């Protein structure tokens, strides 16, 4: 991996990809940003547009569109490319088409000599990350997905509002599939260092478990609510991608709920799902296995089964 300049290649310059690129520019997260898309003209236009904003930013980032040979000396390849559901198409058929899209991306990235970290945002993100892992042959530590990073941020924001505490002092995670079977292990949730269960016990007239359950349901439904209002979600995930990219490039050892390959945690192997991990320059440094209750462990295992079954239904 190059240490001198921080180079990121973005594959897929749609709404999510460009929200990432725009946030990356404004937060000056790397020195070089390359844009790749099947639609080369679009990638070129997006690079021009961002470059025209450089004069107004604090960044002197080099931004240009290019081809897969640019990945050879990159630190991170961010994949936001994907195709949309056609009418009448099943989830599995869509997944199969996106698997084809990923074949056309991961192969040339690997052939370029890329030796960095793959970061996937395309949905269903846990399965697309596993596909990237299988196609690339990379070590599991260097293939991660956005997982439940954004869901966790949404959870902390809502908990912060509910308890009237800075979200950064609310320690709680959304784990499992980025989707219907994701959940909040409340046994692990803390306000500062105090378990939320104790906060509820000490304040029975102020805080209620039903309201916490509504918060976790709101987190799960947030994407659908945004899609109903404006057809797609992109700013939040773009900023989540910047956070993960910075954790890697700055060797932060930050804890983020990325989609990661489990290797025995929760009695699960091979499946990729959202779980707190320590992220640094090498990608996933460590997976933090949470001490779940029996009920939470059953939820995690159910989520893993759903993801494993979807993956095994694919022909790669
Ligand atoms: P979009 O349609 O705006 O952009 C997709 C881009 O991918 C297009 O520019 C298209 O040309 C490109 N593309 C398609 N096939 C390609 C190929 N073979 N090679 C290179 N580029 C190719 O879609 P979007 O709104 O940007 O969403 C992108 C993905 O991100 C979707 O799968 C979406 O579901 C997902 N997403 C994930 C999260 C998350 O939390 N992980 C949140 C929001 C959206």
pLDDT in tens, 99-145: 999 999 999 999 999 999 999 999 999 999 999 999 999 999 999 99
Residue nearest to atom 29 of ligand 1 (CA): 122
pTM of the predicted model, to two decimals? 0.97
Instruction: State the distance from the centre of ligand 1 to the C-alpha of 17, rounded, in angstroms.
Output: 7
Strands 269-274 and 259-263, sheet pairing: antiparallel
The domain segmentation of the chain, as residue ranges, is 7-145, 149-312
Q: What's the average model confidence in pLDDT over 236-245? A: 98
If you measure from the C-alpha of residue 14 to the centroid of ligand 1, how many angstroms do you get, rounded to a whole number? 6
Options 3.10.20.30, 3.90.110.10, 3.40.50.12780, 3.40.50.300; CATH of 149-312: 3.90.110.10
Q: What is the overall mean pLDDT for the chain?
A: 96
Instruction: Give residue-wise pLDDT tens across range 61-90.
Output: 999 999 999 999 999 999 999 998 777 787
With a 6 A CB cut-off, is 14 part of the ligand 1 pocket?
A: yes
**How many angstroms from the chain centroid is the CA of residue 316?**
22
> pLDDT value at position 130?
98
pLDDT in tens, 150-181: 999 999 999 999 999 999 999 999 999 999 99
Architecture of the 7-145 domain: 3-Layer(aba) Sandwich (3.40)
Would you say 276 and 267 are in contact if contact means Cβ atoms under 8 Å apart?
A: no
Tell me the CA–centroid distance for residue 135 and ligand 1, in Å.
Answer: 19
In the numeric block, the tokens 């991170």 are attached to: 76
Cβ(109) – ligand 1 distance below 6 Å: no
21-57 pLDDT, tens per residue? Answer: 999 999 999 999 999 999 999 999 999 999 999 999 9
* Ligand 1 atom with the shortest distance to the CA of 15: 26
The pLDDT score that the predictor gives to residue 3 is 52
**pLDDT above 90 coverage of the chain, percent:** 92
Ligand 1 binding pocket includes 239 (Cβ within 6 Å): no
Pocket test for ligand 1, best of 123, 149, 177, 258 (most atoms within 8 A of CB): 123
- Establish whether domains 7-145 and 149-312 are of one fold: no
Residue 156 burial (10 A CB sphere; 0-12, 13-18, 19+): buried
pLDDT at residue number 2: 45
| Closest to 34 measured CA to CA, from 12, 57, 15, 10 | 10
d(CA 257, CA 147): 6
Determine whether 178 is an active site residue.
yes
Q: What is the mean pLDDT of residues 169-196?
A: 97
Instruction: Kindly state if the Cβ of 121 falls inside 6 Å of ligand 1.
Output: yes
Which one of 10, 11, 15, 16 would you pick to mutate in the ligand 1 pocket, going by the greatest count of ligand atoms within 8 A of its CB? 16
Edge to edge, the sheet with strand 277-280 lists 254-256, 277-280, 283-287
Pocket lining: 147 vs ligand 1, CB cutoff 6 Å: no
Ligand 1 atom with the smallest distance to the CA of 101 is 18
User: Could you give the CA distance from residue 284 to residue 286 in angstroms, rounded to a whole number?
Assistant: 6
| Tokens coding 156 | 């902390």
Nearest residue to 50 via CA among 17, 82, 79, 72 = 17
Task: Check: CB of residue 35 under 8 Å from CB of residue 65.
Answer: yes
């Amino acid at each position: 991996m190059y240490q001198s300049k921080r180079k990121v290649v973005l594959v897929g310059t749609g709404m999510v990809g460009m929200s990432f690129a725009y946030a990356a520019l404004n937060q000056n997260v790397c020195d070089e940003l390359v844009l790749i898309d099947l639609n080369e003209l679009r990638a070129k236009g997006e690079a021009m547009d961002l470059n025209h904003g450089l004069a107004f930013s604090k960044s002197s980032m080099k931004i240009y569109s290019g081809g897969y040979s640019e990945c050879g000396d990159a630190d991170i390849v961010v994949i936001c490319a994907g195709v949309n559901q056609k009418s009448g198409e099943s989830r599995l058929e869509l997944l199969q088409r996106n698997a084809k899209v990923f074949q056309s991306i991961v192969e040339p990235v690997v052939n370029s000599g890329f030796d960095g970290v793959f970061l996937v945002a395309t949905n269903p993100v846990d399965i697309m990350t596993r596909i990237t892992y299988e196609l690339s042959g990379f070590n599991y530590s260097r293939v991660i997905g956005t997982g439940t990073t954004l869901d966790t941020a949404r959870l902390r924001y809502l908990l912060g509002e509910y308890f009237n505490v800075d979200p950064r002092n609310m320690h709680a995670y959304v784990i499992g599939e980025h989707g219907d079977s994701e959940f909040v292990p409340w046994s692990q949730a803390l306000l500062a260092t105090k378990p939320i269960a104790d906060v509820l016990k000490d304040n029975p007239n102020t805080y209620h478990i039903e309201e916490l359950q509504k918060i976790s349901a709101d987190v799960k439904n947030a994407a659908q609510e945004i899609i109903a209002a404006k057809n797609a979600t992109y700013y939040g995930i773009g900023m989540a991608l910047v956070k993960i990219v910075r954790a890697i490039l700055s060797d932060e050892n930050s804890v983020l709920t990325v989609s990661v390959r489990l290797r025995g945690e929760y009695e699960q192997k091979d499946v990729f799902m959202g779980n707190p991990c320590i992220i640094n320059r090498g990608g996933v440094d460590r997976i933090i296995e949470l001490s779940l209750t029996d009920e939470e462990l059953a939820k995690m295992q159910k989520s893993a089964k759903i993801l494993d079954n979807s993956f095994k239904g694919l022909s790669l």
